[in-house]
Amino acid sequence: AEAAYRAEATAYIGDHLGRVPVVAAARLGRTFGVYDPVGQVDLDRVEGRPKGLAVAGLLTFYATAALAVVGWRRLRRAGWSWAALAPLWGPIALVAVTVVAFYGTTRFRAVAELSFILLAAVGLTGARPPERAPVDGAGIDAHEGHDERDEHEVGA
């Protein structure tokens, strides 16, 4: 029986190879809430999530993802390299590869949620990398226009 199912599955795959890009896009879309989100909420209910929480989670993800895009742009414009941002985009890429290879569902996105949240925080705050300290380690107080070491000298 197993061999018959395998043969049928292999034949089906062979007959539908042209649909691979469409299926991959649908899996990504389901996972990231852009393809049939109402249908995905219903599937989330099958996994035991109450409908209200599934809808709230989806809406929260939309807001977080939008702010994450803003955060990503800010970091890239501030000069952060792809390599420096790998800890943030890596989990998102891992989720994307996983759902394309297997199937798309909201719970797989959990691995990438922290990346979205951190990028959204940058989007909200406009965080920039700290200014580099001068090579000699001396900091200049921009408000007063004098060297910080002057305030800390013994006997001053």
Each residue's pLDDT tens digit, 4-60: 999 999 999 899 999 999 999 999 999 999 999 999 998 888 888 899 999 999 999
Q: What is the pTM of this model?
A: 0.72
Distance of CA 40 to the CA centre of its chain: 19
Q: How confident is the model at residue 91 (pLDDT cuts 50, 70, 90)?
A: very high
Instruction: Give the tokens for residue 70.
Output: 């803003």
Give tens-digit pLDDT for 118-130: 999 999 997 666 6
Residue 111 · residue 91 · CB < 8 Å: yes
